[in-house]
Amino acid sequence: MTVEIIDDLLAGAKAKQTRDGWTATRLAMVRGVTGSGSAKVFNAVMELFTAENITIGTPHPDIAGIEVDSIDPVAVTTSDINLRIEYAVPKREDSEELLIESGANSVQVQTNVDINGDLLEVEYPNAPPDEQIKVMLISVGRAHPIRTYTRRENFDPSDLADTYVDTVNANAIFGQPPKEWRCTSILGRSNDGGQTFETTYSFERKKNPFNPPWEETISWTDAATSTVPDDAFDFPESIRQYEVYEARDWSELNLE
């Protein structure tokens, strides 16, 4: 058997752009088909795959984003069979269906208080009187809840990523008040030439019982000892909190 791909428009090959994307038709002639009855049709389709690697789901060679949707055999002679190869945008999952993952990561943070909010103080009686008590700063693990939302969408999420990554929620979301969650990533993956994207939205919630979420606390530190002076807490300007993430309305992300 031999396979001849016919791409002559006069022979019936065509392409068309529709609301749902491109469709296309290609023609193939399989000559010298053997067998009887429906076996000839089966053999012709199998020869198309063997000789040209064309089967259901094979991408179009020239038009990105469409795949073989059907192969329709028509006998021309007792040994020659025409194959009408139809291409279309592959059917995808409903873009409104969300895959939701929820859990927590352990993140290292610096603190100068214990689990009760008491200062981490140590005392060395042989030091000069004004240096006997030191407040220490240490790194500890803190559980940060995370959530990811994944769905297939028909647009590139790059603009959303530019707008929302590294912002915090201006409004209540995921059952939490404003400024509890930070968007850490918006990443889309396309396997159809950019027609659709499987997009994952990632978020992290900062848990800190002593500081407002996503605000940073900084304190005046002695450069020589890398510690906070004992009396720093007596001066409000010595220890301050700053908002470092912009709050934005996430309703455009349509996650709830």
0.75 exceeded by pTM: no
Which sign does the torsion angle of CA 222, 224, 230, 231 carry?
A: negative
Interatomic CA distance for residues 81 and 31, integer angstroms: 7
**Which DSSP string corresponds to 160-227?**
HHHHHTTEEESS-BTTB-TTSEEEEEEEEE-SSTTS-EEEEEEEEE---TTS-TTEEEEE--BTTTTB
Q: SS3 for 241? A: strand
pLDDT tens per residue, range 74-121: 888 888 888 899 999 876 554 557 889 999 888 787 777 888 888 888
With bands split at pLDDT 50, 70 and 90, how would you rate the model's confidence at 70?
very high
Say what the pLDDT of residue 209 is.
52
Burial class (CB in 10 A: 0-12, 13-18, 19+), 94: exposed
Report the range of poorest mean pLDDT among 19-33, 122-136, 214-228, 233-247: 214-228
Tokens of 101: 């993952």
